[in-house]
Amino acid sequence: METVIEVRDVVTTLGGHGIHRGLSLSVGRGEVIALIGGSGTGKSVLLREIIGLLKPQAGRVELFGQSVWDATADQMNVLRRRFGVLFQDGALFSSLSVEDNVATPLFEHTALPRATCRRLARLKLALAGLPPDAATKRPSELSGGMRKRVALARALALDPELLFLDEPTSGLDPISARAFDALIRLLADSLGLTVFLVTHDLDTLFSIIDRVIVLSDGRVLGSGTVAELKHIDDPWLQAYFAARAHEGEPSHGN
């Protein structure tokens, strides 16, 4: 399997506090991966290091075989066209219509006419499960679940091979969260996407994830299916999986 994300011996210190202490992991093409860990383990920090927004003190990060932190500006622009990102808060532009929010990457990274960009944006909105009338609205006029779908449509605007999602179901009610999970899995399977997802949502792990990577004490504590990780003797991990045991485990269907 081709390696799409390669992180080797990454060391990160923020505000004098050690976050990552020689962290290494890899993700293969077509995998749907969840990154989990306790508060302060640096999950979102690692995501930002992988996509080139935050530079670690040491180590190597590669996307599609290209070193992120040794790349020229032109090389990074090429890389950015190959991945899409959905940030935790959606990061939508409140002053723009939904359509123009989704079209923004097309405006910035292609030479297509603006009318064509907007038509493509409407296609992405439909792909994300939004009705046609959502296009002309502002983000503030939409529900939380619909705003997440707009952010997803924008992440898909440039037809990426790789999708990064930071806490995609946070702030959603359970029904909206499960619908969003199902959409992610459907898109991953139908478009052949590789997905790297930071989450704390246990239902997401059971329903759509191929492999879970656990961060602890600055390193990868374990990597595998939920069933495999349950055998790791770690207090946080055991408490995490036990948190909803009384509710019964969600189904394992994809």
- Listed by start position, the domains of the chain span 3-82+161-247, 96-159
Alpha-carbon gap, residue 86 to 113, rounded angstroms: 25
Report the amino acid identity of residue 217: D
Amino acid 1: pLDDT: 80
For the chain, how are helix, strand and coil distributed in percent, rounded to 5? 40, 25, 35
- Sign of the Cα pseudo-torsion (80, 193, 102, 50, in order): negative
Phi and psi, residue 91, nearest 5°: 55, 40
Phi-psi sector, 167: left (phi>0), alpha (psi -120 to 50), beta = left
Give Cα 26 distance to the centre of its chain. 15
Give percent of the chain with pLDDT exceeding 90.
80
- Render pLDDT for 18-63 as a digit per residue (tens, 0 to 9): 999 999 999 999 999 999 999 889 999 999 999 999 999 999 999 9
How far is Cα 219 from Cα 229, in angstroms, rounded to an integer? 15
Q: What is the pLDDT of residue 251?
A: 44
Tokens matching residue 250: 């969600």
**SS3 state at 238:** helix
Spans of the chain, pLDDT less than 70: 89-90, 244-254
Q: Give the pair of three-digit tokens for residue 184.
A: 């992610």
Entry field: residues in the chain: 254
The secondary element (H helix, E strand) that includes residue 221 is: strand 219-224
Query: What's the CATH architecture for 3-82+161-247?
Result: 3-Layer(aba) Sandwich (3.40)
Q: What pLDDT score does 253 carry?
A: 44
Q: Are 99 and 121 in contact (CB under 8 A)?
A: yes
Task: Report whether 3 contacts 27 (CB < 8 A).
Answer: yes
Question: What letter would DSSP give residue 251?
Answer: P
C-alpha pair distances (Å), 54 with each of 17, 145, 232, 249: 15, 28, 31, 36
Measured CA to CA in angstroms, residue 166 lies from 60, 148, 189, 245 at distances of: 21, 11, 20, 25
